[in-house]
């Protein structure tokens, strides 16, 4: 690559508008050179600057008694007591994963792991939320294979278990899949580190892999729409090296046990540029950097390339002056490159030198605090009204309800995901108490009696039909999953995946979803401590459903009191908690899509006050060991929740006999598959019945006893009946069958 003259056209090629280019000229008092233009373009990209989302993200509650670090750092941190904290974040790697699924997903996992261990935390678990196009879309199988193998290839090698997540399919993701990766780590309070470059004269140190021409302009790629040429962008996708990252992880944690450093940050999107300017910005300092001292993998790289490279597995460290040798010794022990490339200065300028000349000289604030912020126009799309109209009475009633039941349970969306989870090492580190397949994953925290429950969730059909309610549901449902495991939701991170924010209808979706999420967070007292926005999820002008994925983290003071979603023993009684919230709600339901080919109507209503009481009750019931299982009604309604409690058991399927909890006058298919918010299927020992009912009363939760566990069939009396073993088989085989994958 060679230097090129700078012009407004060149700026436009870099994704900067005419106004933005003018703003750069004003801030610098001159024209930027080519290197500086590159630096501005990545720092002012949507991905790094959050310029379209920032004003809305402020609506999230971010404080709380447990919050040690809210948004704005590499990852959020929450206190869990006994001097320990959890650090976690979720991030998207959508575009790279569509272009090159294996490497795209792998480097997504690598990036989020670095975000977490940069804070000083040892990663103990990952989750992934994956959304693909229709199962029968010609590209889907290839993408599923590649993404799953990429996550496995990276996570397994570095030795962090992938303990759960979701895999979902919808036509809207045909040309733009979503890969959202989440990692959680554990850190002692006194070992928390942040990305700050304080202390004038302190050395700036580069560690990790050498720099190559990887992913030049990955950050701007992540901020642009797809077109037919996207597949030609392949060379800009980075290649991950989990082995080097494992060494980097161990070396960084070893370094952090000393007090030789001041701050540390991952070189993620926009590499050396974002790490150096962001660290200086947080400390209110500047820096001087010499690019000749950057370890390089390729020959003839120019400053533009060195500053913008997204080579993986690199970190920037600011150490205490005079402690350089300690840093060097540790990284050399782990066979990693280490080089002092500059120092912290006090004048608020970022200066970059190369071959004895200054090649960039930019005020730090110009790239960070003075980056553009947009309040983009938003407008409810005209199609929303027609989308929301649905006449249930007009839907043809299926003649064979048992067949529909089996079909829903075996569609790739609902079917057993063992094909996926078998490829992830989900047991390493020996903390996993609940293996993948329950509402939430549960891990123990070694050295304490505590447990951590985690769930990642979003129903994007709901968000499409009503982003406000859909956003509320994403928060409520992930919190409910965690509460069903017996844990208290203590904080969340999110990945907000949306279309092009320059379109008012997309901006409307975005702000509505955030407002809904924020309202639910307030009601459930759950702070948002980290997150990521991914815009421009569009292909040839067609946007995805708004998909604000939520990853909820919960705390169990006593890990042994966790719950699972599957029935425990024959003879146990089955209850519906929150039974008064049952109703005919077909809008956005799985049944409507799978059986009638429609995404229409309005999502089920939410009652936040009820939700809060329900979840408090669930935790109390778990803590007092009153229940044997808890599973919330979500996709597929009462019939599918019941089926899941029967057949997802690791020890094999069991039957159940229940009454129809709906009024007799309601159509049988509606009773089975209506999706309700705030209803949970519980089971308990026969002798524990009265104690459970009594426990629900103070929380004003309506309990209805519906049946009993056992038998060969799953039987909703008078409505439909299937053989437990048959349904189990169809569910187990559905995923591979639906996608045409080999077993």
Partner 1 sequence: MKAAVLVFPGSNCDHDAYHALKYVAGVDAEFVWHKQSSLAGFDAVVVPGGFTYGDYLRTGALAKLSPVMGAVKRFAGEGGPVIGICNGFQILLEAGLLPGAMIVNGSLHFVCDYVYLAAETSRTPFTGRIPPGSILKVPVAHYQGNYFADEKTLFSLEERGQVVFRYCTPDGRITEDANPNGSARNIAGICNEAGNVLGMMPHPERCAEAVLGSEDGRQVFDSMVSWLKERGK
Active site residue ranges: 47, 93
Asked if residue 733 lies in contact with residue 412, where contact means CB atoms within 8 angstroms, the answer is: no
Q: How far apart are CA 564 and CA 350, in angstroms?
A: 53
Query: Using the rule CB under 8 A, is 424 a contact of partner 1?
Result: yes
Query: Using the rule CB under 8 A, is 614 a contact of partner 1?
Result: no
Closer to partner 1 by Cβ: residue 93 or 562: 562
Q: How far apart are CA 561 and CA 619, in angstroms?
A: 10
What does residue 357 show for φ and ψ, rounded to 5 degrees? -115, 150
Let me know if 469 is exposed, middle or buried by CB neighbors in 10 A (0-12, 13-18, 19+). Answer: buried
* Residues of span 298-317 touching partner 1 by CB under 8 A: none
Q: How far apart are CA 493 and CA 653, in angstroms?
A: 34
Closer to partner 1 by Cβ: residue 395 or 736: 736
Among 267, 428, 590, 647, binds partner 1 (CB under 8 A): 428
Closer to partner 1 by Cβ: residue 299 or 335: 335
**What b/e string do you get for 313-346 counting C-beta neighbours within 10 Å, with b at 16 or more?**
bbbbbbbbeebbeebbebbeebebbbbbbbbbbe
Query: Using the rule CB under 8 A, is 257 a contact of partner 1?
Result: no
Q: C-beta of 11: minimal distance to partner 1 in Å?
A: 41
| Helix residue ranges per DSSP H, 434-466 | 460-465
Query: Using the rule CB under 8 A, is 435 a contact of partner 1?
Result: yes
Query: Using the rule CB under 8 A, is 560 a contact of partner 1?
Result: yes
Q: How far apart are CA 68 and CA 683, in angstroms?
A: 37
| Encoded tokens for 531 | 């997150």
Query: Using the rule CB under 8 A, is 388 a contact of partner 1?
Result: no
Closer to partner 1 by Cβ: residue 159 or 201: 159
Interacting stretch for partner 1, rule CB under 8 A, among 93-101, 238-246, 547-555, 712-720?
238-246
Asked if residue 453 lies in contact with residue 440, where contact means CB atoms within 8 angstroms, the answer is: yes
Q: How many CA atoms lie within 13 A of 508 on its CB side?
A: 13
For residue 282, CA distances in Å to 67, 277, 360 come to: 19, 9, 20
* Residues of span 120-159 touching partner 1 by CB under 8 A: 149, 152-153, 156-159
Query: Using the rule CB under 8 A, is 247 a contact of partner 1?
Result: yes
Contact mark string toward partner 1, 640..679, x via CB under 8 A = ----------x-----------------------------
Closer to partner 1 by Cβ: residue 333 or 697: 333
Query: Using the rule CB under 8 A, is 694 a contact of partner 1?
Result: no
Query: Using the rule CB under 8 A, is 421 a contact of partner 1?
Result: yes
Query: Using the rule CB under 8 A, is 622 a contact of partner 1?
Result: no
Query: Using the rule CB under 8 A, is 335 a contact of partner 1?
Result: yes
Among 60, 304, 334, 462, binds partner 1 (CB under 8 A): 334
Interacting stretch for partner 1, rule CB under 8 A, among 428-436, 494-502, 634-642, 696-704?
428-436
Looking up tokens 């080999």, which residue turns up?
742
Query: Using the rule CB under 8 A, is 210 a contact of partner 1?
Result: no
Q: Max CA-CA distance within the chain?
A: 84
Return the HEC string of 115-183: HHHCCCCEEEEEEEEEEECCCCCCCHHHHHHHHHHHHHHHHHHHCCCEEEEEEEECHHHCCCCEEEEEE
Contact mark string toward partner 1, 157..176, x via CB under 8 A = xxx-----------------
Closer to partner 1 by Cβ: residue 209 or 493: 209
SS3 355: coil
Binding-site residue total for partner 1 (CB under 8 A)? Answer: 35
Contact mark string toward partner 1, 64..103, x via CB under 8 A = ----------------------------------------
Query: Using the rule CB under 8 A, is 427 a contact of partner 1?
Result: yes
CB neighbours of 353 closer than 8 A, spacing ≥ 6?
A: 288, 289, 290, 291, 292, 359
What does residue 428 show for φ and ψ, rounded to 5 degrees? -60, 150
Site residues (vs partner 1, CB under 8 A): 149, 152-153, 156-159, 241-244, 246-247, 334-335, 421-430, 432-433, 435, 444, 446, 559-560, 650, 742-743
């Amino acid at each position: 690559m060679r230097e090129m003259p700078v012009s407004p056209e060149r700026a436009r090629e870099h994704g900067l508008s005419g106004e933005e280019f003018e703003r750069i000229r004003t801030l610098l008092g001159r024209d930027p050179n080519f290197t500086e233009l590159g630096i501005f373009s990545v720092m002012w990209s949507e991905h790094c600057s959050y310029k379209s989302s920032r004003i809305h993200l402020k609506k999230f509650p971010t404080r709380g008694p447990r919050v040690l670090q809210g948004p704005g750092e590499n990852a959020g941190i929450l206190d869990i007591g006994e001097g320990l904290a959890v650090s976690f974040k979720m991030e998207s790697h959508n575009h790279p994963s569509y272009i090159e699924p294996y490497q795209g997903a792998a480097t997504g996992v690598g990036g989020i792991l670095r975000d977490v261990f940069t804070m000083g935390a040892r990663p103990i678990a990952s989750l992934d939320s994956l959304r693909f196009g229709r199962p029968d879309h010609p590209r889907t199988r290839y993408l599923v294979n590649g993404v799953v193998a990429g996550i496995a290839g990276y996570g397994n090698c570095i030795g962090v278990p992938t303990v759960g997540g979701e895999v979902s399919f919808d036509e809207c993701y045909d040309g733009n899949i979503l890969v959202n990766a989440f990692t959680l780590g554990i850190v002692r309070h006194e070992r928390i580190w942040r990305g700050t470059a304080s202390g004038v004269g302190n050395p700036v140190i580069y560690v990790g892999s050498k720099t190559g021409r990887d992913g030049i302009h990955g950050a701007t790629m992540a901020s642009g729409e797809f077109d037919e040429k996207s597949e030609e962008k392949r060379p800009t996708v980075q290649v991950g090296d989990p082995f080097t990252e494992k060494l980097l992880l161990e070396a960084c944690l070893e370094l952090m046990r000393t007090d030789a450093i001041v701050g540390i940050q991952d070189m993620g999107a926009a590499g050396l540029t974002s790490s150096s300017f962001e660290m200086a910005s947080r400390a209110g300092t500047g820096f001087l950097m010499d690019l000749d001292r950057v370890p390089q993998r390729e020959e003839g790289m120019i400053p533009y390339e060195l500053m913008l490279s997204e080579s993986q597995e690199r970190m920037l460290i600011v150490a205490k002056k005079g402690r350089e040798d300690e840093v060097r010794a540790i990284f050399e022990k782990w066979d990693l490159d280490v080089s002092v490339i500059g120092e912290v200065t006090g004048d608020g300028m970022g200066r970059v030198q190369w071959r004895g000349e200054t090649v960039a000289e930019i005020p730090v604030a110009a790239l960070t605090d003075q980056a553009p912020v947009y309040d983009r126009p938003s407008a409810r799309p005209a199609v929303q009204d027609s989308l929301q109209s649905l006449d249930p009475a007009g839907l043809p009633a299926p003649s064979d309800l048992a067949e529909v039941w089996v079909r829903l349970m075996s569609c790739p969306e609902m079917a057993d995901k063992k094909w996926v989870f078998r490829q992830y090492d989900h047991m390493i580190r020996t903390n996993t108490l609940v293996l993948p397949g329950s509402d939430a994953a549960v891990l123990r925290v070694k050295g304490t009696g505590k447990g951590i429950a985690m769930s990642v969730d979003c129903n994007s059909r709901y968000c499409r039909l009503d982003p406000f309610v859909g956003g509320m549901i994403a928060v409520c449902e992930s919190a409910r999953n965690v509460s069903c495991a017996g844990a208290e939701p203590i904080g969340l991170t999110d990945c907000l995946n949306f279309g092009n924010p320059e379109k008012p209808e997309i901006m409307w979706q975005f702000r509505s979803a955030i407002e809904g999420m924020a309202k639910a967070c307030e009601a459930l007292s759950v702070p948002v401590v980290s997150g990521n926005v991914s815009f421009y999820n569009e292909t040839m002008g067609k946007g995805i459903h708004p998909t604000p994925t939520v990853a909820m983290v919960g705390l169990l003071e006593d890990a042994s009191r966790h719950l699972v979603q599957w029935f425990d023993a024959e003879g146990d009684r089955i209850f519906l908690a929150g039974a008064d919230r049952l109703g005919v709600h077909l809008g956005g339901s799985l049944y409507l899509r799978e059986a009638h080919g429609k995404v229409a109507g309005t999502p089920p209503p939410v009652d936040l006050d009820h939700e809060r009481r329900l979840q408090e009750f669930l935790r109390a019931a778990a803590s007092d060991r009153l229940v044997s299982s808890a599973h919330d009604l979500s996709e597929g309604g009462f019939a599918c929740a019941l089926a899941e409690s029967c057949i997802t058991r690791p020890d094999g399927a069991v039957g159940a006999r229940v009454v129809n909890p709906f009024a007799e006058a309601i159509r049988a298919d509606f009773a089975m598959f209506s999706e309700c918010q705030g209803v949970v299927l519980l089971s308990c020992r026969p002798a524990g019945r009265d104690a459970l009912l009594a426990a629900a009363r103070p929380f004003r939760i309506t309990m209805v006893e519906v049946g009993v566990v056992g038998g060969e069939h799953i039987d909703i009396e008078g409505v439909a009946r299937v053989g437990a073993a048959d349904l189990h088989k169809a569910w187990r085989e559905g995923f591979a069958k639906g996608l045409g994958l080999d077993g």
